[in-house]
């Protein structure tokens, strides 16, 4: 879907192939909208992903998971359970604070067991073909990297929703 316009009580839905007229439109945009990108060089490579479908697909890889929420933790846990993986979790803050209790406990166990390495206060600055560069408090580090998983939240679909007349948090439409 490229655009939705409300006109004369109907909606005109424009797609890449055609335009359609409808009395009602159901938008299934998901809870989080579009995955938030980091905006770093190399992020457009095929090895960079924003969701993990099947952890069992990844074995004997150097994997970076970016984020500090439950999605990042669950991806790290699933990937750490696969044979031969080296898991690094990069988080921009100095500690996890939003994890569900169960995820927090499991991540701590995996860290203690040496299955997950966490680099707090870090951010990705570049994703290369075979490595990734992180900026940390002590300087830049380069890690071997086969795949990067980014779990940095999502961009809500406010633009298209406002465009079709949906108001948010305190916005009011005034009748003229």
> Per-residue pLDDT tens for 83-139?
999 999 999 999 888 889 999 999 999 999 999 999 999 999 999 999 999 999 999
pLDDT for 1-58, tens place per residue?
Answer: 577 887 888 888 888 889 999 998 887 766 556 777 778 999 999 999 999 999 999 9
pLDDT at residue 3, rounded to an integer: 78
Residue owning tokens 């940390």 = 136
Cα gap 140→62, rounded to integer Å: 18
- Quick check: 155 and 161 in contact, CB under 8 A? no
Please report the domains of the chain, with CATH numbers, ordered by start residue. Answer: 1-29+157-176 (no CATH), 34-154 (3.50.50.60)
Cα–Cα distance for residue pair 72/149, rounded to 1 Å: 8
As a whole number of Å, the end-to-end CA separation of the chain is 31
Q: Which helix (H) or strand (E) holds 102?
A: helix 101-112
Q: Angle CA(116)–CA(122)–CA(126) in degrees, nearest 5? A: 100
For 114-128, the pLDDT digits (tens) are 999 999 999 999 999
| pTM tops 0.85 | no
Q: What is the pLDDT of residue 172?
A: 59
pLDDT (0 to 100) of residue 161: 72
For residue 175, what pLDDT is reported?
A: 53
Tell me which H or E stretch contains 30.
Answer: none
């Amino acid at each position: 879907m490229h655009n939705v316009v409300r006109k004369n009580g109907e909606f005109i839905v424009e797609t890449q192939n055609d335009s359609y007229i409808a009395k009602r439109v159901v938008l299934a945009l998901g809870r989080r909208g579009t995955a938030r990108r980091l905006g770093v060089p190399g992020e457009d490579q095929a090895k960079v992903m924003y969701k993990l479908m099947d952890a069992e697909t990844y074995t004997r890889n150097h994997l970076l998971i970016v984020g500090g929420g439950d999605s990042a933790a669950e991806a790290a846990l699933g990937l750490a359970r696969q044979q031969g993986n080296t898991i690094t979790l990069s988080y921009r803050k100095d500690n996890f604070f939003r994890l569900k209790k169960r995820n927090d406990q499991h991540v701590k166990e995996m860290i203690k067991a040496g299955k997950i390495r966490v680099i707090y206060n870090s951010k990705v600055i570049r994703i290369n073909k075979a490595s990734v560069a992180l900026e940390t408090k002590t300087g830049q580090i380069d890690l071997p990297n086969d795949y990067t998983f980014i779990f940095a939240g999502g961009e809500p679909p406010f633009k298209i929703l406002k465009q079709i007349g949906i108001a948010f948090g305190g916005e009011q439409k005034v009748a003229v």
